[in-house]
Chain A
Amino acid sequence: MNPLLPKPATIVDIIRETGDVKTFRVVLDDPEEMAAWSHKPGQTAMVSVFGVGEAMFCLASSPTCRDWLEFSIRRAGKVTSALHQMEPEAKIGVRGPYGNHFPYEAMRGKNLLVIGGGIGLAPLRPLVNFILAPENRQHYGNIEVIYGARSYGDLCYKEEVFRVWPQAPGVSVFTTIDAPEEGWSGHVGFVPAYVEELKPSPENQFVVICGPPVMIRFTLKALGELGFEEKQIYTTLEMRMKCGIGKCGRCNVGARFVCRDGPVFSMAELKELPPEY
């Protein structure tokens, strides 16, 4: 088994989430490999565009979804631009899953607070969908989602955020956008401020948070003031990656490799690491 060799895969569907984010539904070409694929919420995979390059993306689909793998990708550089130009039936490569995952076992019996900004909801979404899967739902408490973006157009997973999740048992979803917009009657304001307003309780709660660094910084402050402890808050880090398997050295933060020992870290763990991310 060559860990640097991608598995051939095909894009079967592409969903436009926002002006620059698309969700790609991918199926591994070898049906046995597809059936054997198993990942945990929070894990990542390397996606190759042959001739262009490879990049690490979080798996945005829940492991309970067996039909395909989903990656939500923002167009930013050469690999993502190449992906954005592709159509269904296009061939890509996938290798993985890599990295650690959200501590979904420890989360059993607890409530979950999900805070996302923009495309930052992508790594958190598989955890929500995993918990909402019929076989898992009873093992978890309530889920509160606080999700914001610059504008309505920049909110991802609108179908889930506005329809599927609010209708699921024990789930409440609060959305916000940065500035007032015609047609938007929901909350207006930044995510950290919204969190302060909503005053979630730290009692029996895990928090998963992902979004732009500035959003995370101010939200952590707000959560601190609400009594949350660092060890109950989890986030995902991203770094420039090449091998994805902890050998090329590039993604290190201290002695940890984000590709292998991450991308999920608790705030308590991050405190122990040098601030180089």
Chain B
Amino acid sequence: MDSKLLRREKLLPFLDRLREGFLLVAPVEEDALLFYRPVESVAEIRLNPGRSVVPPKEWFFPQAESLYRYNTESGRLVLEETLAAAPAVLFGIHPCDLRSFAVLDAVFLQEPVDRYYALRRERTVIIGISCSAVCPECFCTAYGISPVEGTGADIHLSEVGAVYMVEVLTRRGKELVARCQEFFEDNVAGVAEAKEARKETLSGQFTVQVTVDGLPARLGHLFDHPYWEELSRRCLGCGICTYVCPTCHCFDITDVCRGFEGKRFRCWDACLFRDYTLHTSGHNPRHALYQRLRNRFFHKLKYNHDRYAIEGCVGCGRCVALCPVNIDIREVIATVRGLGE
């Protein structure tokens, strides 16, 4: 694993150079909110970004995505898959979101491979960035994620004083750095230590210590516990937690048509919505909100682990910050640990 230095004033020029070959997707601020969006100019980029509202999963798994177009004129059928992904650089991804890509990979890249997701993953270079502060809702360390480690990125930046320490983590990252060598310098003594020291500082900032050991097994005994019904009393049944979660991946598929032409597309869906498991017959295995809420927590904290051997949650804290009625997954985890035997 290589490491280099990038002087702070060279970051934007480096990103600007990347725009010559890639679509640059970076954190931009709009009305005091952070989003990952393609940028026309590096001046739009929010350096040292906090946590985005919508997670960067949106880049690999868009809210709405066309699957294919069809035409049935004159009794013939023409099908055209709408598979397209421009080469892109996804810049400014925090370690929690970097881990989320591994969780989504487990779902989408498992046979049969989802071609839409796979193509975007193949064509995107990821530049991670270490956190400079811990939000009150963050708890990534519960899952073995460190706010200064770039696992999952091709290149990972950590701000240390007036420079960024650049860790080149993959072959693709190496190629990128080689292509833009004039921006980088060799690493110097002290920088790596400073980065590690930052890790110590940050670990003191987490407001709640969360332990997830043995959680999937404990949950297995709690399916019928009244806790889920109690928790669901204040739940609105909206899609906020699902849509801001970097690992939630449920989607709906619909067709639209006009005459002989049309297309099929997929879009985000939430297991909390009433019609999620509604059969055409009217039967709904999860007709009550508490059943749907329970299913979401079981999926996030147990089924994902059971199925893919990877934790479903990354501790980013978005759902904690944005749930309008303060359903706090950290509290759910602690309660479950207390209840399960």
- The reply to whether A and B meet directly (CB within 8 Å) is yes
Structural contact, B251 and A243, CB atoms closer than 8 A: yes
> Of A2, A250, A253, which is within 8 A of B250 by CB?
A250
Report the bound CA distance from A243 to B256 in whole Å. Answer: 17
Chain B positions within 8 Å of A5 at CB level: 67-68, 79, 81
A254 to B186 CA separation, bound complex (whole angstroms): 51
A245-B251 Cα distance, complex, nearest whole Å:
12
Interchain CB contact (< 8 A) of B79 among A6, A80, A274, A276: A6
Interface residues on A, range: 35 or more
A80 touching B280, Cβ below 8 Å: yes
Q: A242-B253, A248-B253 are in contact. Are A93 and B306 (CB under 8 A)?
A: no
Tell me the bound Cα distance from A91 to B276 in angstroms: 29
Scoring A residues 1 to 34 as 1 if CB is less than 8 Å from chain B, else 0, what string do you get?
A: 1111110100000000000000000000100000
Kindly state the separation between the CA atoms of A277 and B285 in the bound complex, as whole angstroms: 5
- Choice from B77, B114, B223, B254 contacting A4 with Cβ under 8 Å: B114
- Tally of contact residues, B, Cβ under 8 A: 49
- CB contacts under 8 Å to B, within A142-189, are none
Q: Is B330 an interface residue (CB 8 A)?
A: no
| Chain A residues in 8 Å Cβ range of B204 | none
Q: Could you tell me which residues of chain B, from 92 to 139, have a CB within 8 Å of some CB in chain A?
A: 107-108, 110, 112-116
* Of B70, B107, B302, B307, the contact of A51 (CB 8 Å cutoff): B70
Cβ A250 vs Cβ B114 within 8 A: no
Within the complex, what minimum Cβ distance (angstroms) separates A95 from chain B? 10
- Chain A residues 217-248 with CB under 8 Å of chain B are 238-240, 242-243, 245-248
Inter-subunit contact A3/B113 (CB<8 Å): yes
Q: B286 in the interface, Cβ–Cβ < 8 Å?
A: yes
- Is B77 within 8 A of A238, CB to CB? no
Of residues 39 through 97 on chain B, the ones whose CB sits less than 8 Å from some CB of chain A are: 67-68, 70, 72, 75-77, 79, 81, 83
A2 in contact with B81 (CB, 8 Å): yes
Q: At the interface, yes or no: A76 with Cβ under 8 Å from chain B? A: yes
The chain B residues found within 8 Å of chain A, CB to CB, are: 67-68, 70, 72, 75-77, 79, 81, 83, 107-108, 110, 112-116, 223, 249-257, 262, 264, 266, 269, 271, 276-281, 285-286, 291, 295, 298-299, 302-303, 306-307
